[in-house]
Amino acid sequence: DGSPLEAYGVCNMVCVNPRGPWHKQYLENIRALIKHEIDGIFLDGPVMRNIGCYCETCQKDFLEKYGHPIEQATRLELQDMRVNSVTGHIKETREVIDASGKEILLYLNNSALRGDITGSNTRKLEPYVDLLGAEGGFYRPAPGNSIWAVTVKSKLLETIGKGKPVVNFFAGNQSGTAYYMHTAAETRLTYATSYANGANVWYGIHGSPSMFKDSDGAKASKEMNKFVLAHKFLYQKSHSTARVALMWSQDTANNYGASYEATDFTEQQVVTAKEKGDHYGELLSFADMLLRNHTQFDIIDEYSVTLEEIKKYDSIILPNVSCMSKEVSEKLEGYVNAGGHLLATYDTACFDEHGKGLSASRLAHVLGVCGKAALRTSPDVGYMKATRDSELTKGLTAPLLPNPKLNLEWTLAEGAEALFVSYWPLPVCYVSLPEKTYPALIKNAFGKGCAYYITGNFANFMMTTYANADYPQILRNFIAATSSPVVSLEGPGLVEAVLRKIDSRYVLHLINKTGAMARPFTDIVPLHGLKITLSLDIKNPVLKTTRGGNPANLKTKGKKLSFTLDALNEFEVIEIR
């Protein structure tokens, strides 16, 4: 309607279109700024609203490119406009800095695990920045919010960064509540988690630094800064030891549907279409189960797959990766054919990279299915059962397991086997089980490798609808059958264990999130007698703790090192030489 778009309700949004007048004035300011003796430039943003921009420049550009007015824009056209504008804005900023001949760092507030709703596509911006950052530490410790948010964002940023430094922006106050600080326990755990996963911490108090500088949270931040500075040799230039990968799909987040968190410029979005899975929810749920199992894993994306960076992994999990290009599917096919292992769920690869439905999954022959899938939904709980004892049934507690709400019924391809079957949907809860079944979990040998395919929205159903003890056990069995464990820990699932490598040394991070089953964390329950086994390539290892823990009963056998840690309070960092 011609009125300015607002930011934070107090100021107007600016247009970052590289052809626009604001961008040109901005570049002049950058040229003036870099004449000073500065080390770097941080941009808090830039962004473009999901509805685009309607200034004269953007309207003209849009009409020239797409042949119709922006008021008639499709969703994909607006997305393209946002991403191209923000990427061009940063690219030209980089060019101005480079032209000066000075060594000045450039970085901005990127996004992670979110669709390109504001135009900030971290993969496309990576070539023009010197470090990658996201607001992994901007959160409210609400009971329903993931305790692993910092972990998963750090993992994806490390993958995208390709060796560049990574930073988690951490608000000392609860996100959206500028005058209410995080507890000391929340603060220390956020720091420890970020650094354990290879990411630095930027800490800021928003409401009133002078009012809250002596708060428990601020004091904890000061304490952690001192600790990290004193032990920086345990954090610098470390890298992951993971043999398992969990895949994030930017195409699915953009073009199919995925939940995402609330941010300054986006409201929280939850997938609502009844037949749709939730890629973000499925990924978070798999991450939760993997972390509670102490499995070392990375988070990769489509770009990782196309670069064939996946060869180093024993196993890859595709959590409802609905949208997939032909190139990505071919690379994954080659990975399995060469001896790799896949675990896929629900409608993985049933849409192209733009969100257009396909007649069959692009991975159908790898996953062991054929024909056209039929959607099966359960109005209440349904059931699935194992067809025989297999590598995935070890330790299950019951003969019948809850069945996901959303399922696809496929025809088995020749040579594929249904390790589990789903009963036909029940009309109500209290009725006899139907006789009719269809494949629920399929195993298919392919080349030198093997694919496992769960035809329902397995992980997200487990975390949001019907929690149970057996879905995590199925995942543990898959990991045990397809990958060699890097870390084994006999202890609670709320101990995050991260093993990193620095040259010939290893560093084991243990973060104890065992509280009173409530958020925010206030008091952490100390743990005693943790039995830990690590896979290392070190002879005669020497262990050194930094937080007072005492490793005892050290034993080595081949490449396995086992020991017992006498006590774990909030966190421990152990150097292994």
Residue 326 pLDDT more than 90? yes
Give a yes or no: residue 478 inside a domain. yes
For helices 279-292 and 470-482, angle between their N-to-C axes, nearest 10 degrees: 70
- Is residue 286 situated within a structural domain? yes
Domain match, 419 and 500 both: no
Please state, rounded to an integer, the average pLDDT across all residues of the chain: 93
For residues 68-76, average pLDDT: 95
What Å distances lie between residue 534 and 234, 340, 570, CA to CA?
Answer: 18, 23, 21
Say yes or no: 106 and 231 in one domain: yes
1 within some domain: no
Of 237, 263, 298, the one marking the end of a domain is 237
Per-residue pLDDT at 329 exceeds 50: yes
Kindly state the helix (H) or strand (E) to which residue 454 belongs, with its residue range.
Answer: strand 449-454
Judgement on whether residues 166 and 314 belong to the same structural domain of the protein? no
Looking at the fold, whether 231 and 337 belong to one and the same domain comes out as no
Residue 6 is predicted with a pLDDT of 78
Q: Name the band, by pLDDT with cuts 50, 70 and 90, for residue 12.
A: confident
Of 434, 464, 482, the one marking the end of a domain is 482
pLDDT given for residue 11 in this prediction? 75
For residue 446, give the H/E element and its range. strand 437-446
Q: Specify the pTM.
A: 0.94
Give residue for tokens 């920086």: 232
493 and 475 share one domain:
no
At residue 270 the predicted structure's pLDDT band, cuts being 50, 70 and 90, is: very low
pLDDT > 80? residue 200: yes
339 falls within a domain? yes
Q: What total number of domains does the chain contain?
A: 3
Tell whether the model's pLDDT for residue 163 goes beyond 80: yes
The last residue of a domain, from among 433, 448, 482 = 482
DSSP 351: B
pLDDT-derived band at 271, boundaries 50, 70, 90:
very low
% of the chain residues with pLDDT over 70: 97
- Alpha-carbon distance of 80 to 558, in angstroms, equals 53
- Residue 273 sits in the same domain as residue 370: yes
DSSP string, 470-486: HHHHHHHHHHHHHS--S
Question: How is residue 415 annotated by DSSP?
Answer: T
User: What pLDDT score was predicted for residue 110?
Assistant: 87
Q: Which two tokens stand for residue 368?
A: 């062991």
* pLDDT given for residue 272 in this prediction: 47
For residue 289, the enclosing domain spans 244-482
Overall average pLDDT of the 214-239 stretch: 97
Q: Which two tokens stand for residue 243?
A: 């043999």
> The CATH number of the domain where 21 resides is what?
3.20.20.80
**Residue 109 counted as domain residue:** yes
Domain identity same for 517 and 466: no
Burial class (CB in 10 A: 0-12, 13-18, 19+), 2: exposed
Contacts for 58 with CB less than 8 Å, ≥ 6 apart = 15, 17, 20, 52, 70, 81, 85
From residue 192, how far is each of 150, 158, 227, 509 by CA, in Å?
Answer: 10, 16, 10, 8
Tell me whether residue 420 is in a domain: yes
pLDDT at residue 286 in the model: 98
* CA 325 – CA 321 distance, rounded (Å): 11
The reply to whether 298 and 217 lie within a common domain is no
Q: Are residues 445 and 359 in the same domain?
A: yes
Residue among 171, 170, 183, 169 nearest 207 (CA): 171
Predicted pLDDT of residue 20: 96
- 147 and 225 housed in the same domain: yes
Judge if 69 and 32 occupy the same domain: yes
Residues 301 and 191 in one domain: no
Can you give the CATH number for the domain in which 568 is found?
2.60.40.1180
CATH number assigned to the domain comprising residue 346: 3.40.50.880
What's the mean pLDDT in 517-533?
93
- State residue 274's pLDDT score: 65
List, for residues 121-137, the tens digit of each pLDDT value. 999 999 999 999 999 89
Which among 307, 358, 317 has a CA at the least distance from the CA of 340?
317
Closest CA to 515 of 219, 173, 194, 186: 186
Within-domain flag for 164: yes
Provide the pLDDT confidence category of residue 440 given band limits of 50, 70 and 90: very high
Assigned domain for 462 exists = yes
Looking at residue 181, what DSSP letter applies?
B
